[in-house]
Structure formats: C-alpha cells, structure tokens
Structure 1
C-alpha cells in the first residue's frame, strides 16, 4: 500500500513538473515572438530581407518631415513612436511628429484583430509580410508593449537605473560587440550620444536590432535594461 502511495505521489509530482516546464516553454516562445515583432515594428523590411517600399504610406501626412521617404514612413515606429505613444509621447514634437496616435490602445487586443488591421486598409501591408511576421508583430502589439515611464524620466530623458549595476551588465552582455566605451562598431554613434533618445535605446535592448545578431533582453527584469541605460548615459558621446 505504501509503495502504491509513493508511486502515486511521484507520478503527480512528475506531472506537475511537466506542466510547469511546458508553461515556461510556452512563455519563453511568446517572448521570442514578441521580440521579433519588436524588430518588425522597428524596420520590418530589414528583418525579412526585403526591399524598402518605393511609395510613401498613404496614412503619413504629406506636410511632415518624412513624407517623401517611404523607407521611413512605412516603419511602424515612425508614426507610433519608440514609446508606443505616438502624438502623445516623445513624438509629440520635433521632426518625427506626425500627429498620429500610438498603439497603446491595442494592448490586449486579440492577435487576429491586429493582423486584420495590418493587412487591410488603411494600413495596407497586404502580402508584404508572411503569416509568421504578422503573428509576431501582433504578439508584440498586443502583449509586448512596455510602459517606459517607470524606467525613463520623460522630462530629463534620464534612465531611472543604477549605473553601477548597469556597468556590470553592460561589460558582460554588451561590451563584447560594442566595447566597454560603447564606441563600436565604427558605423554607429557612440552609445553616450544614442542616449539622447532613450526610448529607442530601450526598445532595441528589449527586442534586438533588425538584421543583426543582437540579443533581446525582454525576458529579463526590465530594471536591468534601465540599469544598462543608466551606465550608457555615462559613456562618451563622441
């Protein structure tokens, strides 16, 4: 009888462990899908190795800065912003101001609805993207948006992080490609200068850089990203 009870308990424990492992696996897979969706939001044609659009997006205002630059005005971020707030966020003024709303209102929306909105008018992406691309982008819009206000001061643009902790993270995660001074590769601005736009930096740290082997850190505590940015703000600007 005792052996039967022990076997039953072991079976229950193994079953619970399997379910837990399966849940973690599904969660991790969603994170990678959201990260790829974040890269598509950044510059989708780079991610899928496609040519830039040659005609401007019909929704982009003709009197705004990038009206004659299809490679820019077809990027999701160009209208909706790195902070996802569009006209109500960091893109409320300046050369990137388009007067277009952000995507925060789509948080939690069914992925199928987001895909339909992207494919059809007026967004009009149609067959430019594959099913996998639409799924990843929809996962990002629905579940992958991060409220950046707890990590970035909107007025000063200062990261709300611990620069000392961030130095350790940066030197072990980022410096191998970017150097401890944040000045590599040569075709990039120094990281100190990039911190003029901390929302873009946070988006790229969380999701990676299109068409590059940059890891996405979104599965980690987002405070780690804020700490990394706090250290980056101390690095050379030129």
Structure 2
C-alpha cells in the first residue's frame, strides 16, 4: 500500500508539472510597429489631432503631389507638434526603426506639424536631409508643414539640388521659433519691470511732492518782526535840552 501510494503521488506530481506549459501573452505592438503597419497601407500618415490647423486629407494630397515627381518611393509621418520633445523617439532616431520594420528603401520623412523633423533616403542619392534643412532655412517661422513639403519637393526636383541647397538663404524677416519665444519672454519681463517701477514710483513721487509742499509753506510763514514804539520820556528831555540851548 505504501508503495502504491508513493507511485500515485509521483504520477500526480508529474501530471501537475509535466503538462503543457501556459504560453506567455505576446508583447503588445510598439508605436514603431503600429506606424510601420499604417505606412504599409498608405505611405503618407498625417495626424488627425490638429484638425484645426491641418486638414489630414488635404495635407496628404499635397504631400503626395510634392513628392511624386521625385520618382522614388516615400514614407512620410506627420505627428502633432512638439511630440518628439515630450515622449517619442526623435525623428532622426525613429526613421531607422521604421526602415527596419518596413524593409523598404526610399525617402523617409518624419516631422511634426511645424516642420520640425528629419529626412533620410535609402537606396537613392537624393540629398534629403540637406534639402530639408534648406527648406527650414527658407521658410518663415509660422509656415505650415504643407508649405515645407512643397518647398522640399521643389529643391529635390531641381536639376542641381546641391547648388539649390547651397543658395538657400534665410526667409525675409526670418525669426526662428526659439528667437521668437525669447523675444516674447524678454518683452514680458520688460513690461513687468516697467509696471512694477510705476507702481512703486507713484507713491514715492506723491510722498516727495507732499514733503516739498510742506517745506515751501513753512518757508512762506516766517514771522515778521514787531515794530517798537518810541519812548515818550526821551522825546520830552530832548525838547527841554533844545530850549536851554537856545538861551
């Protein structure tokens, strides 16, 4: 009986431990996986989180019209503004990941809606990143991403894109976003200082004016000397002396 009990316990132990193991749940797809799947269906992905400033359908059509003449496959991702500064991998780091997921050569552009992005080409000789820098240099600071892609396509489609890039100059009245932000902050600080000086200076000026008025009134109210009356006894003695002298 003891032996049978030991065998039964051993079989039960094998049954519990030797059965098929429960498979671990698969890892959820990463952001790069989701973006790559979307690009495989449509090579131009435009964010719909800024519909007030960017119509996704119109922007997609404009980007395709700007890049189709280049004759190379392209993959474009336009994200909400400044998202790469907060939580996502920067564009220049995100593009190799997308290329690794898609396993397709071509022109890759990842940017936000302000044009702050990066361009890189695989399997072609286009000066993609230099052209994007030239575009950023020529565009005004408030230009939208559609204007950036239009100029970007024009530069790359130029018969001599390198000369076109070298000739790129700052846009008239160009002010970078960082310079614009600094100017706004400096103006606000200057106004705050001016308002503070006015608020402090008015009571001081009023106090000084009151003190000056009091001093002026005090100078005007100086007591005048009281005139002294003549002594009658002295006048009588002088008269008597004169009479005696006339004798």
Same fold at TM > 0.5: no
Higher strand proportion (structure 1 or 2)? 2
Shorter chain as denominator, the TM-score bin is under 0.3
Structure number with bigger Rg: 2
Hey, which of these two has a bigger chunk of helix by percent?
2
Give me the TM-score of the superposition, normalised by structure 1.
Answer: 0.23
**Structure with more relative contact order (C-alpha pairs < 8 Å, separation 6 or more):** 1
TM-score between the two structures when normalised by the length of structure 2? 0.22
